[in-house]
Structure 1
Amino acid sequence: MGNDSKKIKELQQQVKRLQQELTFLRQVDNSWQAMLDTSPEAIFIADTESGLIVEANQYAEQLLGYSREELIGIHQTRLHPPELREQYAKSFKEGVAAGRRSVKDLYVQRKDGTRIPIEIFGSTFSRDNRQYIVGFFRDLSAIKDSQQSLAASVERYQFLFNKANDGLTVYHPLPDGVPGKFIEVNDAACRIMGCTRNELLQLSPRDMVMEHEWPNIAKVIEELRTKGCAVFRLQIRRNDNRIMTVEIHDHLFEYDGKPTVLSIIRDITERVEAEEKLKETQEKLIYTDKMAALGQLVAGVAHELNNTVNFITGAMPPLKRNINKLKEEVRQVIGENAGVPVNKSLPPGLADIDELLSRIELLFGNVEEGARRSSSIVHNLKLFSHKKGEEFVYYDLHEILETNLSLLLHEYKDRVVLNKDFGARVHKIYCLPDSLSQVFMNLLINAMQSIPERGEIWVRTWNDDGRLFVSVRDNGVGIPQMLQSRIFEPFFTTKKVGEGTGLGLSISYSLVKKHQGEIKLLSGPERQGSEFVVSLPVDMRRQQ
């Protein structure tokens, strides 16, 4: 009896212990399940041998759209799209054998058929002498969406970057601020620079800039450093050695932890050329307007001067006759007293009369020369203001040139070598012959006078695009660069005082314009002497 009571008491204690262990195990199981359900990732536990799922948490239910009861007991491969199950099963086995703990770029298939990108982290454990695998499924949908959004953003950026009409380049400045190599360029920049992308990425901005622009680059570097941006224009040399003018907007910012410059480059070569042509046209309009006003003034001045000159030249012949008559009478008186001492034979005051008459004759010659030159100036002034009494006709320009050369060359043949190249096939043009004769007479005289001792003159003609060109070139002293813009101004001359009126080229300019032509000076430090080129339409009526 005592033994039975003792056994019952021991049995009761064992039952109590078992009850306590069961309670503990239930608590552990509840804690384990709570831990699974609070995980931010889907967790599946599968039997390694059978591949069947034995446990799943709440997030697994949300991820796949199945209930926990539906998930437990199915094969783990059924979580994936049907066509990928065999491939994934093989990858799992290889991963377990190789000891890999994660597999990326997988998909699971929800109950509604949609697919979700995931990454699986797996590990194994043993329980009750059985092997289990636990898999943590991380939903990559948000990451994939971000990656796709980022890829789309990069693609849009690349599209906009490469399709921009302006050149775009990016570079890191060196520590001293000097531009480093390009790290990114767009298609327009390659087109402007005349390089391929790979060629341009081997260069820096300083490799493209003309040397004379480097002082300006130093100013840009300083402006970027102080203001963070700079706008400037400069000349660059393309890969094919063509010179271009560009306008650049530089912006300094930080990228990847480094100072970075974005340059927006615009090719303004054509715009600059157009601005220069516009400026030239404006100057020509101003000059034409000035010439028109001056022509009116000159016409009035010429009329007044002509009256004065006519009065002088009209009085010269009778004055000259009277002086000659006086000389004859004086000589008769002197002749009657020949052989008698002058002081005794001539009346007082007549002893030096012969010398006095010689001086009067010399002064008279000076007056005549002055009147002749004044008349010439008045004549040129009239030509400058207007031309009357001449009609347009077809005339051989070569004949005009030959006539002028024959008239002038005898004065310079001992010191000037003339070179003629009359290559124009069409040389009969619709013109005012006398006017053009005066134009080329002026040009030839200027060329000859520009040669101080000995030299050469080249006269050449040619045709191009319905026009006749005449070039008069010399190897004389040339015209200084600073004076070239004024050579067609009235009364402006580079000759010494008394050697020119300053009207020759002004008149020539007006006469050439009257023929709808152009006259240009080609003179510079790279050439010796000067060259005037006259361009005339063969038939100006066709251009009206």
Structure 2
Amino acid sequence: MSNETAARTGHLVCDPAELRTLFLFEKLTDEQLSWLCADGRIEYIETGQVFREGDPATCFYVLMDGEVRITKLSGGTEIELNRTEYKGVYSGAWTAYLGDKVDQNYTGSMYVTRKSRFFVLDAGTFSRMMHEWFPMAVHLLEGAFFGNRNTNERLAERERLLALGSLSAGLTHELNNPAAAAVRATSGLRERVAGMRHKLAMMAEGKFQPEVLVTLVRLQEEAAAQVAKAPELTPMEAADREDLLGAWLEEHEISDGWNLAPNFVQAGFDVDWLERVRGTLEACPNKVFEGAIRWLNYTIETELLMNEIADSTTRISTLVNAAKQYSQMDRAPFQVVDLHELLDSTLVMMSRKLGDGVHVVKEFDRALPPVPCYAAELNQVWTNLIDNACYAMDRRGTLTVRTYQENDCAVVEIGDTGPGIPEDVRRRIFEPFFTTKPVGEGTGLGLDISFRIVVNKHDGDIRVESEPGNTRFIVRLPLHRPDPSKEAVEAPL
């Protein structure tokens, strides 16, 4: 049980003159101070917790003697925000004057480190006092509170749209490459099929025995199957094989054989296979043999072009799926997801921005449980952190994306090999509008938005550790968290 409902020593005398010594009340009239003493109370609270983060905010506390600690949960860990014995400091239900317009729960926890004395107002009394005594101030505070929140939301939305616009431009470019390749391959495929039909007609005019034609069809099927399992060759290996095949084709009077050799090599064929084809057609005129070779070449080219079309369309499908995963289209805002899917989709979306100069290393703990979260907003966090890492490395270096479990939290680390972040910058890095980028290149909102998404919306934690050549942004997210939408629906009226 907290000290809010225990360890009270009965009714204590409230002295209006003493209240006037506290900075909160120094400008109040004698009548107002008397009202405070009549409607408020003085309490001694023993060492321990006064109120707990997330509980209904029922009281407004002003320290008169003693010492308090203010803490906040971050990634499942209680972080001390402030420790003070300054008379007049206040905490608790200080937004009660906003009523049901905002969530009226304690935003942090308060402890006393030794027996302390407080002036206490019930939340309803504090709200009534503010509205009766300072109606204009209440309106101004409401305007500032909601105006600031709306401004932050608008700026965050604009930041998201800017990021999405930049990624969309990259996505368009990425989609255009495989689409253009598929169009080119389709055009080439049409030409090769037409050429194959022409060669087939020429071969039909030759003097082939039925068993020879059967053998040719079998060789054609063999060629098609071989393309699918062709080995990966180094440039040097491929060049050596092309020289051997080109020389063999030239020796057997196949015109333009040097241009045919690369296709056979790419399909995984060698001189021994061509010797088998030659042996099969040994009794045929040389012109027929050349036609057969070109027919098999058309088969190989056709298979290679179809592979290119399949690869291109698969790439397009991968990009579209990544975009859908990234934007979380047609999905609930709050869901339980595999963080690796979010990270992979973000990396795909940012592949053009990463370019060839950034080497991406993924160290994923695949045993990491799914995480309850706002997936689309976490994708924005990954985008901001990866974009900053690329900028820090001047798009040349190693980007490391690591995941692991730490106690009851999932941890995501985004690391880079840039020059590091100086200590004076690290202290301000999560401040809104603070940026080290040149004018026009950064808004200073990326890390502020990331902080609010991780800490405020997910009850998580984000921090940075940096030294030259090794900067890591570390995000911790609770593995167990109720669905806020269900909580709202199931809450008692």
More strand by share: 1
Does TM, normalized by the shorter one, top 0.5? Answer: no
> Under a length normalisation based on structure 1, what TM-score does the superposition of the two structures give?
0.30
Compare CA radii of gyration and give the structure with the larger one: 1
TM-score (norm 2): 0.33
